[in-house]
Structure 1
Amino acid sequence: MTDTLLFDHFDPADERRREALMTLSNGVLSLRASAPERADGPGYPGLYLAGWYDSAERQVNGSRCHIGALVNLPAPLGLSLSLDRQQWLEPAYTHYRQCYDAERCEVRRRFGVTLGEHALDIEETRLVSYADPRLVVLRWAVTCPQPPSQLWLRSTLQASGNTLIERNLAYEGQRLAIDQHCCSEHGHSAIQAHLAGGARVVMACHTSLNTPVAWHGPAAQREGQCPWPAGGVLVIEKRILVEADDRAAHALAAAIPGEPFEQLRAAHYGAWRQPWQAARVRLTGASLQRPLDFALAHVLQTVTPLSLGRDLGFPARGWQEGYMGQIFWDELFAFPFLASHFPERARNLLAYRYRRLGAARARARAAGFKGALYPWRSTTGGEEQTPPWLYYPLSGHWVEDATWLQRHIGAAIAYDAWLLYLATGDQALLTGMAGEIILEVARCWASMARFDASRGRYVIEQVIGPDEYHSRYPGAEEPGVNNNAYTNLMAAWTLCRALQLLQQLPAAAAAELCGRLALEAAELALWEQVSRQLYLPYDEPDVLGQFEGFDQLQTPPPQWLQKQRPRLDWMLEAQGDSTDRYQLTKQPDVLTLLHLLPPHEIRELLAHLGYPPPSDGGRRAVQYHLARITHESSLSYAVCAGAMAHIDLARSWWFFGHCLGTDIDAGSDSGTVEGVHLAAMAGTLDVLQRHYLGLRPALDGLHLYPAVPAELGEVMLRLQYRGQWLEVRWRSGELRVQLAPGSTGEVMLVHRAGRDLLVPGATWRGLYP
């Protein structure tokens, strides 16, 4: 078994970050890696049910708000040992080793503690079952050279609240109210609880030993006395089931599986192994393999087969308290990889957006637009979930949060819908949810754009781009900036795809779809016009600006681009200043375009808009924006790695390495404490596959346009294109593609030398010296 991530000592200052790094999930339940024996810290027990949000009213900075937040469930893992029931285990570790095993999707620890005069060695294994969406299992195997004749075991099931993130406490706090505790003499404990809105959750726990034990005490804290087993190893197991329903607590307790631990473990591993092997990218160097495995495991354990059929999006920090467990645009960075390996999982994410299409239409109407206007932050319904205020910890001030103006999320959802169609070729997507989403988002862009007669072009005003450092012009009363380059270009892209979508369909199917959405020829003609006449802000010749007026902002001191300072927006606000006033970006909006779209598509889009392509291939624009990035967004390095792949491979590789270390190399007080950065993890997989190996699905086939850094070495991976699995290998300047054994279809490959039809049994080879 492999140790994908290993810590060989205990560090209380870093414990909460490690708990997040080693979080286990099956796409339904998510469990932080808190230590069962440390009831009083420094860790933070967290157990979450995917998509189970509370939106009870809160008073924040004098405002009433109902902001959805993922609920921290009662902590189920607590264990402790005692000789006399007076002095319980006080962890002062004599040795300590903790590892995350991505190959098996489990966490193991081995640690030593002293109980009286007895030295105990404890081997711990935990898993969140990939085979059973309700099940968490914890196992201790305790050995002792000179064991005590008897000892006491304490097992706890303790209510908790949402208190991980101090600056969010006004929005968070206690969310669950306990209705019922119950327990049995056989080691079962259960809790039934509810939210203010009435939703209920039931948690049942069974603690068992390989030696007789008599239990005492209430459900929340059971204590039992047991003899040391003759075999020399004391085995303690906790099995937890969680369901969000009205089932009685004792009924769920009766459903706890009784199979041996190894059987439960084998079922979990058996369910995990197939997707793991199908999606794993194999590299020659362990220095790259382990962080890439770590990234893949977290993506695969967040969006799973157990997620299918459930109303779940792609959480920015996994199913944890980071960003309140809400859904932003982060699936944009996961979709390319998911669609090319597990299209059914990508389809389930798109269905989350489709179920909220009605609410997005209502939001558009309320804002004075047509079509569908998706919210920047989502939870259970389709309403905007951006908090009205942000707390700035350096000053202690509450500041208005205007990031709900990130209208660009509609283009991201349309991008995902189109990409899923390209990867699968499933025309039912175009006549169904993907087509409806793309057309309704395009309709919104066309109605949002205003014709500016002085320019002879359409403009999009009062928005915020992905770079959240600029929420308004200096001194402006109203939030928003005008003609954000990313927003305008992706609006044009969406309008083009909407029109192309209708052309792609048979005439009868296109007419039926237009009829269903009440789309008439005059509206489609307007889309064509807007798609050709959207305004783009240029700061210099060949340099597409961040937004209109960005070049008029102040030049920042060079030291602000260094990391030896507090977070820049917090630091400036505490000084009475603002990032709005400076030519600085948290993440590069313009370079995000180069990350998402291939170079030829950027050129075609600019030509469609009547703008000349950059005379130097975009290098001047890239340098301009790189000189103004603080990289304080976890997405920034992934975006830069992708954007630079066809411009400057050496710099792209540097960004790629930093992206791999986003969480693993983060500080103990970093944002990783709140949950891992899933989009950055998925972004590394995407950069390697879509940019470095150049594998992109398109209408005319699978495109192969590699740009491979020399440092990458040999690469082997599998991917799907339109129902066929392909095996891809890069080695010493040669790209080799063949259909996997058992394939029945053909795949058209499009490359720099032309086109080749790949048939079962054949291998395509391309040399890239």
Structure 2
Amino acid sequence: MAESNSAPHIVFEHYDRDDERRREALLALGNGVLSWRASAPEGSVKPRADDSKHYAGFYRAGWYDEATREVNGDSVHMAALVNLPDPFGLSVALEDGNWFSPDEVDLQRYRQALNLNDGVLERQLSFELAGHRVELLERRLVSMATPNLAGLRWELHLPPGLVVRLRSVLDGGVCNAGVERNRAYEGRRLQHLAFDHDGNGTAALSARLHDHRQRLAMAVQLRTPGRQLQWRSTTHEQRLVQEARCAVPDSGRLIMEKRVVVLIDEECPVADKDARLEARRQLPCDEYEHLEQTSAEAWRTLWQGLALASDDPELRRNLHFHAFHLLQTVSPHSIGRDLGFPPRGWMEGYYGQVFWDELFAFPVLATHWPELARSLLDYRYARLDKARERARRAGLRGAMFPWRSARTGKEETPPWQLNPMSGRWMADHTRLQRHIGSAVAYDAWQLYLATADEALLAGPVGELIIDVARFWASIAQFDASRQRYLICGVIGPDEYHNGYPDAAEPGLNNNTYTNLMAAWTLDRARQVLALLSEADANGLCQRLGLAPDEPEHWQAVAEGLYLPFVDDLLLSQFEGFDQLEPPPQEWLHGDRPRLDWMLEARHDSCDRYQLTKQADVLMAYYLVPQQTLQQILRRLGYPHDAASARRTLAYHLARITHESSLSKVVCAGALADIDLEASWSYYQQALATDLGSPGNRGTQEGVHLGAMSGSLDVLQRHYLGVRLELDGLHLFPSPPASLPPVSLSLLFRQSRLHLRLAHGALVVRADSGNVAPVPLHYAEGKRQLAPGESLEIRCRSTS
């Protein structure tokens, strides 16, 4: 279990072979370009085997392979993030004894610690090897200062004069095999491997993908500071093995270092040999300590954008850990590289594809690192034309974004998912999650509110919001019998309902979350045109080919969408949800396999029951401020007061399995305005999604970035009450009674604010370096907070 202390470290004090894969993901290092699982280097020196306890994954962000795979009789052309060659294999043997492995020695001490401030992972071991006591100190980094660089350092303490054998491995024969049930889609991806090496410990590798324009070059340098060793190299099964012998110096201290440089595509010269030479040329000559120092300085600069602190060391550590993984996935190095936001980080979970999870990160990124939020928005904007093309092919207007995206902007959802319980293939219809468009619009709007950038509103933000609105206006069909607009044949965030029982076609009608967010997007589109100057609005309309009558139609749809209710009192999940069979309570609370797998193995389906993996309706309460949500419902002609909201939330909470990692963070946010005690309970559970779940096999595939980002969002947006609005920053703090004192710094329209919540009050201080006052709105009124000024706001409570 990770320790709780005041220092921002994640620490494991014992070796647990059965927990290694989860820890490899938890302690993975990245810089927005490279991602390296925390697999033990000594595990990579033996001949490759099917070792389910370790997985040495190394990845380049956004580097997807699109080779065709035969799956369940279909030829599937789908993008998957590539597992790069493993350059980190390293081990030691004494005299003629066996190579070191923690599974084969008596470990007298084991400590693994991730320094969250500096981005350095350290491992300390003491053990007996060949009758001698050995101490090993390992340090590793993925440089936040140099985007294509990773480093590994071993410091060994041994009896002086002892003969030591060293082995290093560069494994180019790796496969994508991190997720067992995905193997039909994965497997071997690297082609045309070639190696260069010399006797001084430097080696390089080149490879290509199915599309030969996608090229890789990797260089590895072995160093033994203070000693010049001769390395003997052999290759077998696309593995380059380098070995050397030396005597332990009189100091009893022997150091080995590996520096790794990775280049792809246009970074590589056209000829493979030249690409290998270029990668070798970029190997740094600096001392390892300097590499670590410059990376740590870059991390410290990043952390200044958050300045998160708490009197509770465990809360601080958990939130710091979540922010750490967020910044490892999207960093300053991501800017300009056309990268999205994968829900498991840059690892093989979900094939490294991009869903909607940046929705949970955007309110945080936009107010702490707006340049990173802009980078993610640029990823969507670069695929806007492709989304428009998809809409046109479907006979619709506007932009229809894919549920899963990768490099090209086409739909990447696999057609089949393997059920490991039954061994059968299950059809995957989740590509019908059209609500992804509203998520893109929401993110765009958040960035505009945070920056007040008029050029952004007249450009990418305006285009994205309006074209998503046009899509909703064209997919919504008017039903004369109800005098309402309907959105049919879609799937909500709850993927346990893909269609109606025994229906010939997938899809559901009038998913409440989808329709509410469609109404929200249509409102924002009209607001965009109203906010722009006449010249900018006309220019935007001309670029989009907007017909004069379209905004009026948007309003008609936004005020006429149909929402399903149960007994006219509470919002239903989708039309017909209340007619499904009630589930047995043990399905909701009992210890059982994943429900969709369990039911399919019984030739049954979640589609038949009133249960949810995560409740779509709660997502609307999580995302949209209660006042705004009530305004939308009133305009739709559906009165929905606080009592109705309580009944709605209670109804859906009684039907959630929480098998989505997002479920509990959504519940925490949705309940913050209704039941703070329940919200806090869910929040604590959400904080433990990855760190507190040793048996969570899902974490092995990568951490849950949506839930991690959501924990930061709930703290800032719901508990501290920070809301971005057109007229300024709204501050309506409503913290749970058990929330310890907490502080953070945020950026709002180029002005920095420092917030401290403690003892029932939120103190807001405008940074003295601000150049303009910040417009604040709070329960007692409003104020222009000048540079250096402070304001104390009393917190409200919710029973």
Q: What range is the shorter-chain TM-score in?
A: over 0.9
Q: Distance in 2 between matches of 1:499 and 1:767?
A: 35
Residue 232 of structure 2: aligned partner: 216
Q: Give the aligned partner of residue 18 of structure 2.
A: 13
Q: Does 1:500 align with 2:500?
A: no
Is the CA contact (8 Å cut-off) linking 1:163 and 1:172 kept in structure 2? Answer: yes
Equivalent residue letter for 2:430: T
Residue aligning to 2:199? 185
Counterpart in the other structure of 1:204: 219
For 1:190 and 1:119, locate their aligned partners in 2 and report how far apart those are by CA, in whole Å.
Answer: 34
Provide the secondary structure at the position in 2 that maps to 1:529: helix
Q: Is the Cα–Cα contact under 8 Å of residues 737 and 764 in structure 1 kept in the other structure? A: yes
Query: How far does residue 101 in structure 1 lie from its aligned partner after superposition?
Result: 1.3
DSSP 3-state at the match of 2:87: coil
Deviates more, 1:681-690 or 1:753-762: 753-762
Preserved contact between residue 59 and residue 82 of structure 2 (Cα < 8 Å): yes
* Distance (whole Å) between structure 1 residues aligned to residue 305 and residue 89 of structure 2: 36
CA distance in 2, matches of 1:689, 1:161: 41
* Structure 2 counterparts to residues 152-301 of structure 1, below 5 A: 152-159=165-172, 160-198=174-212, 199-210=214-225, 211-218=227-234, 220-245=240-265, 246-247=268-269, 248-301=275-328
Per-residue deviation at 1:180? 1.1
Which residue identity does 2:83 align to in structure 1? N
Aligned letter for 1:164?
G
- Correspondence for 2:486: 459
Looking at structure 2, the residues matched to 622 and 147 of structure 1 have their Cα atoms a distance apart, in angstroms, of 68
- Tell me, in whole angstroms, the C-alpha distance in 1 between the residues paired with 2:315 and 2:764: 22
Whole-angstrom CA distance in 2 between matches of 1:530 and 1:95: 66
Residues 694-703 or 608-617, more deviating = 608-617
The answer to whether the 8 A contact 2:8-2:316 is kept is no
Q: Give the Cα–Cα distance (whole angstroms) in 2 for the partners of residues 478 and 614 of structure 1.
A: 36
Distance (whole Å) between structure 2 residues aligned to residue 568 and residue 386 of structure 1: 21
Q: Which amino acid aligns with 1:188?
A: T
Contact 2:754 2:767 survives alignment (8 Å): yes
The 10-residue stretch of structure 1 (1-10 or 66-75) with the greater mean CA deviation from structure 2: 1-10
Out of 468, 486, 489, the position equivalent to 1:441 is 468
Asked if structure 2 preserves the Cα contact closer than 8 Å seen for 1:37 and 1:79, the reply is: yes
Distance in 1, matches of 2:42 and 2:160, equals 19
Residues 586-605 of structure 1: pairs in structure 2 closer than 5 A? 586-605=613-632
CA contact (8 A) 1:441 1:494 kept: yes
Shift of residue 468, structure 1, vs aligned partner = 0.3
Task: Say if 2:360 is the partner of 1:333.
Answer: yes
1:542–1:615 CA contact under 8 A, matched in 2: no
Shift of 1:85: 5.3
SS at match of 2:195: strand
CA distance in 1, matches of 2:682, 2:121: 29
2:63 to 30, 52, 62: 52
How far did residue 189 of structure 1 move? 1.0
Shift of 1:79: 0.7
Q: Report SS of the residue matched to 1:710.
A: coil
Residues 178, 191 of structure 1: 8 Å contact kept: no
Distance in 2 (CA, whole Å) between partners of 1:481 and 1:491 is: 15
CA distance in 1, matches of 2:334, 2:96: 43
Do the aligned partners of 1:4 and 1:293 also contact (CA within 8 Å) in 2?
no
Deviates more, 1:702-711 or 1:315-324: 702-711
- Does residue 655 (structure 1) correspond to residue 688 (structure 2)? The answer is no
Cα 1:297/1:285, change in 2 over 3 Å: same
1:73 to 75, 84, 92: 84
Q: Once the 2 structures are TM-superposed, how far is the Cα of residue 615 of structure 1 from its aligned partner? A: 5.4
Residue equivalent to 2:446:
419
Tell me by how many angstroms 1:669 deviates: 4.9
Q: Which amino acid aligns with 1:216?
A: R
Q: How does 1:679-758 map to 2 (within 5 A)?
A: 679-758=706-785
Q: 1:444 to 1:287 in 2, by over 3 A?
A: same
Confirm or deny: 8 A CA contact 1:376 1:409 kept in the other structure: yes
Q: Distance in 1 between matches of 2:689 and 2:380?
A: 28
Q: 2:156 aligns with which of 127, 139, 142?
A: 142
Question: Alpha-carbon deviation of 1:104?
Answer: 1.1
Q: Alignment partner of 2:407: what SS? A: coil
Where in structure 2 are the equivalents of 1:483-498 lying within 5 Å? 483-498=510-525
Amino acid at match of 1:632: E
Instruction: Determine whether 1:132 maps to 2:159.
Output: no
1:30 and 2:44 are equivalent in the alignment: no
Looking at structure 1, the residues matched to 394 and 790 of structure 2 have their Cα atoms a distance apart, in angstroms, of: 54
2:499 and 2:507 in contact (8 A); partners too? yes
Q: Distance in 1 between matches of 2:328 and 2:623?
A: 24
What secondary structure sits across from 2:318 in the alignment?
A: helix
Larger mean CA deviation between 624-633 and 229-238 belongs to 229-238
8 Å CA contact 2:735, 2:795 repeated in 1:
no
Identity over the aligned pairs, expressed in percent?
Answer: 51
Q: Distance in 1 between matches of 2:428 and 2:644?
A: 37
Relative to structure 1, the CA distance from residue 669 to residue 528 in structure 2 (aligned partners, 3 Å threshold; closer, same or farther) is closer
d(CA) in 2 for partners of 1:734, 1:527: 42
1:399 to 418, 422, 426: 426
Which residue does the alignment assign to 1:544? 571
Partner in structure 2 of residue 313 of structure 1: 340
1-structure distance, mates of 2:684, 2:644: 25
Distance across 2 between alignment mates of 1:456 and 1:667: 53
Distance, in Å, in 2 between the alignment partners of 1:763 and 1:656 is 29
Equivalent residues of 1:3, 1:99 under 8 A apart: no
In structure 1, what residue type is equivalent to 2:23?
R
CA distance in structure 1 between the partners assigned to 2:763 and 2:8 by the alignment: 30
Cα drift, residue 741 of structure 1: 2.7
2:116 is matched with which residue? Answer: 102
| Structure 1 range deviating more: 742-751 or 76-85 | 76-85
For each residue in 1:559-601, what CA deviation from the matched residue of structure 2 results, as whole angstroms up to 9, or x when unmatched?
1111510001000110111000000010010110011011110
1:3 Cα shift? 5.5
Deviation at 1:86, TM superposition (A): 6.1
Question: Are the aligned partners of 1:280 and 1:293 in contact in 2 as well (CA < 8 Å)?
Answer: no
Aligned position for 2:390: 363
Q: Secondary structure at the match of 1:94?
A: strand
Tell me the secondary structure at the aligned position of residue 511 of structure 1: helix
Q: Which runs of 4+ in 1 moved over 4 A?
A: none
Q: Which consecutive residues of structure 1, in runs of 5 or more, have no partner in the other structure? A: none
What TM-score, normalized to structure 1?
A: 0.98
Q: Distance in 1 between matches of 2:284 and 2:192?
A: 24
Displacement of 1:230 in angstroms is 2.9
Q: 2 CA distance for matches of 1:79 and 1:327?
A: 33
Aligned to 1:90: 101
Cα deviation for residue 223 of structure 1 reads 0.5
> 1:667: Cα distance to partner?
3.4
Q: Which residue of structure 1 aligns with residue 3 of structure 2?
A: none
Alignment of 1:519-534 (within 5 A): 519-534=546-561
Alignment match, 1:121: 135
Q: How does 1:488-637 map to 2 (within 5 A)?
A: 488-614=515-641, 616=643, 618-637=645-664
Displacement of 1:755: 0.9
The Cα shift of 1:112 comes to: 2.0
SS of 2:537's equivalent in the other structure is helix
Across the two proteins, how many residue pairs are aligned to each other?
A: 768
Residues 118 and 148 in structure 1, CA contact (< 8 A), matched pair in contact too: no
Match 2:164 to one of 151, 156, 164? 151
> SS at 1:521's partner residue?
coil
Q: Can you list the C-alpha shifts for 1:581-639, whole angstroms capped at 9, x where unaligned?
A: 00001001011001101111001111121211235151111100100000000000110
Q: Determine helix, strand or coil for the equivalent of 1:278.
A: coil
- Mapped partners of 2:208, 2:296: distance in 1: 33
**Matches of 1:138 and 1:444, distance apart in 2:** 50
In structure 2, distance between residues paired with 1:347 and 1:669: 33
Distance apart, 1:548 and its partner CA: 0.1
* Separation in structure 2 between the aligned mates of residue 607 and residue 233 of structure 1, nearest angstrom: 73
Corresponding residue number in structure 2 for 1:62: 73
